[in-house]
Amino acid sequence: MKIISINAGSSSLKFSLFDMDSETVIASGVFERIGIDGSCYTIKFNGEKFKEEIEMKDHTKAVSILLDKLTSLNIIKSLDEINGVGHRIVQGKDIFNESVLVDDDVMEKLESIKHFAPLHNPANMLGIKAFQEALPNVPMSVVFDTAFHQTMDKETYLYAVPYEWYEKYGIRKYGAHGTSHRYISETVKDLLKTDKFKLISCHIGNGGSITAIKDGKCVDTSMGFTPLAGIMMGTRSGDVDPSILPPVMEAENKTIDEIINDLNKNSGVLGLSGISSDMRDIEAAYEAGNEKAVLTFNKYIQRIVDYIAEYYVRLGGADVIVFTAGVGENSPLLRKLVCDKLKCLGVEIDEEKNNVRGKLTEISTKDSKVKVYIIPTDEELMIARDTLELIK
Ligand code: AMP
């Protein structure tokens, strides 16, 4: 069985082709600058990289080039080998609490909620439509970043704002990174060989979110109505007091959209440090004693620790803490500084075991009251697994 996982953005399309018997990636790649000058693709297959600049006026063209390359590069013999296509969708609201097969009804529902993620959902839908044209007989699924968080209870997902905002406008916490947190939860279930566990899953990448999970179900998550809320991120502020907006708008003569853009793109690690949004740069400057980098890194750690502590209490303790995504998987320093601050909860890590990057590892000591793992996340595989499950 072969399944393609698709992550379509407004001008890009990422894909991974999986052999689902072995759950391995046969080929993967990205199509970039779709609809913009200088469009190009990169495809990785058999240890080789195929790159070409080629005109792609829209997603339909990108998909047609992708399918053409899959056969012309001998990645597959014929398009008949593709058994299913899974699409990542950023926002499913409270309409979708699990992955589903695409049909007319699903497309209508997606259309009706697309304004809740205007930068992402319409782009995700372009990917679906392009594949519907190219492979009309191949089953397709949609997998939502928000679906895993639909088990939050009402007192958790509501904001303390006028109730009508929720009723009339759907204002509530939806969360994000749900596919990643679900992958972590399923992996922990396999590792512990039980589905009864309290888990705090820390997805710390350029975007970042922390999720409290009990027995495989989301109890709470740090992102909110959009991915802007929660911990401090590469370029996003995380939680701030919204009263900061009017004085800055007035002083800088900016619109609300421009200020929200600043909170999404010019804040977080980048904004506070003035150095970079990339944790590698911040760590290097931190170790060299750069004052702004020290402040930024300390604040970054503090926000993560705050959420872990909150969720530890919410869950009534924790059996496992997991670090995943770019920073979580690759930064021994971040994991050490976070875990040092969690010593009061009985968290203890082994520095030697912690000195690893991007590899599934248990880094806690034998005596630690909470197991601590690094688990590389795999959202693409999760999308492919869901698709396979649905087409079966
Ligand atoms: P992601 O969004 O999960 O792809 O994570 C991307 C981020 O991971 C980058 O922006 C870096 O900040 C971070 N990252 C990647 N490699 C390392 C590393 N070796 N040490 C620290 N941070 C890293």
pLDDT of residue 295: 98
> Domain 2-144 carries which CATH code?
3.30.420.40
d(CA 348, CA 328): 17
Give the binding-site residues of ligand 1, using a 6 Å CB cut-off: 205-207, 234, 278-280, 283, 325-327, 330-331, 357
pLDDT of residue 21: 97
Give pLDDT tens digits for 307-359. Answer: 999 999 999 999 999 999 999 999 999 999 999 999 999 999 999 999 999 99
Task: For the chain, give the percent of residues with pLDDT over 70.
Answer: 100
The two tokens of residue 192 are 């512990």
d(CA 303, CA 309): 10
Give pLDDT tens digits for 364-385. Answer: 999 999 999 999 999 999 999 9
Among 94, 145, 257, 350, the active-site one is: 145
pLDDT of residue 365: 98
Average pLDDT over residues 242-260: 97
Q: What's the gap in Å between 238 CA and the centre of ligand 1? A: 18
Average pLDDT over residues 85-108: 97
145 part of the active site: yes
Task: Give the torsion sign (CA, 22, 196, 199, 339).
Answer: negative
Say yes or no to pLDDT of 200 above 90: yes
Average pLDDT over residues 269-288: 97
Pick the CATH number of 193-379 from 2.40.50.140, 3.30.750.24, 3.90.226.10, 3.30.420.40: 3.30.420.40
Per-residue confidence band for 13, with pLDDT thresholds at 50, 70 and 90: very high
Give the Å distances, CA to CA, from 11 to 35, 54, 65.
Answer: 7, 14, 15
Q: For residue 206, give the ligand 1 atom closest to its CA.
A: 2
Q: What's the gap in Å between 326 CA and the centre of ligand 1? A: 4
DSSP code for 376: -
Q: Which helix (H) or strand (E) holds 323?
A: strand 320-324
Comma-separated ranges of CATH 3.30.420.40 domains in the chain: 2-144, 193-379
pLDDT of residue 159: 98
Per-residue confidence band for 277, with pLDDT thresholds at 50, 70 and 90: very high
d(CA 320, CA 349): 12
Looking at ligand 1, which residue's alpha carbon is closest to its atom 8? Answer: 326
Give pLDDT tens digits for 294-305. Answer: 999 999 999 999
Say yes or no to pLDDT of 275 above 90: yes
Per-residue confidence band for 99, with pLDDT thresholds at 50, 70 and 90: very high
pLDDT of residue 355: 98
Mean pLDDT score across all residues of the chain: 97
d(CA 229, CA 238): 4
Residue reference for tokens 């195929």: 50
* Ligand 1 mutation pick, 279, 300, 375, 379, max ligand atoms within 8 A of CB: 279
Task: For the chain, give the percent of residues with pLDDT over 90.
Answer: 99
Give the Å distances, CA to CA, from 347 to 237, 339, 344.
Answer: 28, 6, 7
pTM: 0.96
* Ligand 1 mutation pick, 14, 202, 278, 356, max ligand atoms within 8 A of CB: 278
pLDDT of residue 178: 98
* CA neighbor of 210 nearest in space, from 188, 232, 191, 192: 232
Average pLDDT over residues 127-144: 96
d(CA 88, CA 180): 12
pLDDT of residue 119: 85
Q: What's the gap in Å between 140 CA and the centre of ligand 1? A: 31
d(CA 375, CA 361): 7
Burial of 279: CB neighbours in 10 Å, binned 0-12, 13-18, 19+? buried
Q: What's the gap in Å between 248 CA and the centre of ligand 1? A: 30
